Amino acid sequence: MRRLLTTLVCLAVAALVALAALAGLATAPSSASSHPAARKSRTAQPLVWGADATLPATTWQKPALRKRYLDPAYRTTVRRLTSAEGIRFDRNSYSRRQAENARGSLFLTYHGDAEYRVTNRRTLKLKRVLDIHPDAEPQWHPTHRARIRFIAGPNASTGKLQLFEVNVRNGRQRVVADLTQRLSRVWPTATYLADRAEGSPSIDGNRYAWIVYDHNEEPLGLVSYDLAADEILGTRLLRSDVGRADWVSASPTGAAVVVGYVEGTFAYDADLTNERRLNSKADHSDLALNADGEDAYVYIDFSSGADGGWLVSIDLDTLERTRIFDVYEGGNTSMHISGKGYNKPGWVVVSTYNCKVDQAWTCDKVMAVEMQPGGRILNLAHTYNCGDNYWTETHAVVNRSFTRVNFNSDGGSCGIDAEVYQVVVPEFG
């Protein structure tokens, strides 16, 4: 039954995405070495596949705002989209949150003045500074180019049991879902809800999941919600044996909910039943569609277990585990994963930082990675980012059509002045 639901959802999603993005891309070649005539990129340059150890160019200099350049190693087109001059940063907010709107005409950044800004992608003119809380967890509407959904705030003084929407054309806000009375019947002290900034709605924008908190800011439990039906699908108490709940998210198809605790990650059906454990540790991760269009959890395993050091994908339904590549082999970096390129199921974007082995092939890069055993790796760009502060982590995010990736870089300053760069993903078949 769940497979049927997944199939139906994926078909609906495909129709939505077709309105909002470029056409999907076919499956990539198996490797550069086995395909010497590999497809050319949009800049007519050969693609660079695999564990490439080409170093960043020593002659690279921070480009001017708006200026396009070719990455010295991979000949992809890159452009600096924001400026942090005179402020702390103007950065991509996170790898698990879409930066671009449904049409790819606007993009969202988190600004050093603790505010979200919406900017025109082509002209780089500021469209609007959003009048929302810095921790409002904004998410673009799945099809409407000018709407962003968000929560009121992340604590008892600002938060509510409601979901809001703002129109970035005129700044008008409205409540799109009010769970106050229904959640108060389940938990009388319920005060606000949040996904803790790492969750996302389903691809169609209908399925949400949140942690519910009381007025003392203590977590009460989980709620899963369908916006289109205005229906609470399920509620559930949090586990008490695996540490604090760090985040919760709906899966891409909406058929599942995933919760990350300090000492484990768990998946549930949409109604919060049928618990299954995915791993035993909290790691950087994202939810994505695998090559079959099924929900998958993709994460870097930094445990001491059998998968330690591997980028791993887990099917949320079958729990089948796929080892993609070993980060410890020839290098050791921290990384973020973005599974938001829904038009190209079976692929994620990985961005690395915090290199532990100098000049390793994985250092300070953005890559497209196939979710298969020993999956193919398409090198996209070096980040030229040397900061080791949270604010300068790369946090690369791919757009829905898998045609552009926004990532953060300090441009070599080694400060916290992170700015957004955009790399065009080459066409590959």
CA distance 23 to 25: 7
Tokens found for residue 204: 């169609």
Closest by CA position to 421, among listed 402, 389, 399, 396: 396
51 and 188 in a single domain? The answer is no
The more confidently predicted of residues 29 and 269 is 269
For residue 16, is pLDDT > 80?
no
Is 298 inside any structural domain? no
- Residue labelled with tokens 């990350």: 260
Kindly state whether residue 124 falls inside one of the protein's structural domains.
Answer: yes
The pLDDT assigned to 124 comes to 98
| Domain termination residue (choose one: 282, 312, 337) | 282
Q: 265, 297 in Cβ contact below 8 A? A: yes
Q: Is residue 311 part of a domain?
A: no
pLDDT over 90 at 59, yes or no: yes
> Has residue 6 been placed in a domain?
no
- Asked if residue 145 and residue 270 are part of one domain, the reply reads yes
Whether 274 shows a pLDDT value over 90: the answer reads yes
- For residue 8, pLDDT over 90 is answered with no
Same domain, 115 and 216: yes
pLDDT at 159 over 60: yes
Domain range for 166: 105-282
**Residues 358 and 332 placed together within one structural domain of the fold:** yes
Q: pLDDT, tens digit, for every residue of 378-418?
A: 999 999 999 878 999 999 999 999 999 999 999 999 999 99
Find the CATH number of the domain harbouring 174. 2.120.10.30
Beta-bridge partners for 336 = 351
Do 181 and 128 lie in a common domain? yes
Q: Give the model's pLDDT for residue 44.
A: 58
CB contact at 8 A, 63 and 366: no
The domain boundary, picked from 282, 304, 333, lies at 282
Domain count, the chain: 2
Q: Is residue 212 part of a domain?
A: yes
Regarding whether 335 and 276 lie in a shared domain, the answer is no
Grade residue 45 by pLDDT with cuts at 50, 70 and 90: confident
Q: What burial class does residue 182 get, using C-beta atoms within 10 Å of its C-beta: 0-12 exposed, 13-18 middle, 19+ buried?
A: middle
33 and 158 part of one domain: no
pLDDT tens, position by position, 337-372: 999 999 999 999 999 999 999 899 999 999 999 999
In a shared domain, residues 169 and 228: yes
Nearest to 278 by CA among 297, 301, 295: 297
Q: Is residue 299 part of a domain?
A: no
Please identify, among 249, 282, 315, the residue that sits at the C-terminal boundary of a domain.
Answer: 282
Domain annotation covers residue 219: yes
Residues 246 and 344 reside in one and the same domain? no
Confidence grade of residue 282 (pLDDT, cut at 50, 70, 90):
confident
Q: Chain-wide mean pLDDT for the chain? A: 91
* One domain, residues 198 and 256: yes
Task: Assess whether 112 and 260 both reside in one domain.
Answer: yes
Q: Is residue 155 part of a domain?
A: yes
pLDDT, tens digit (0-9, with 9 covering 90-100), for 287-302: 999 999 999 999 999 8
Which percentage of the chain shows pLDDT scores above 90? Answer: 85
In this structure, are 126 and 252 located in the same domain? yes
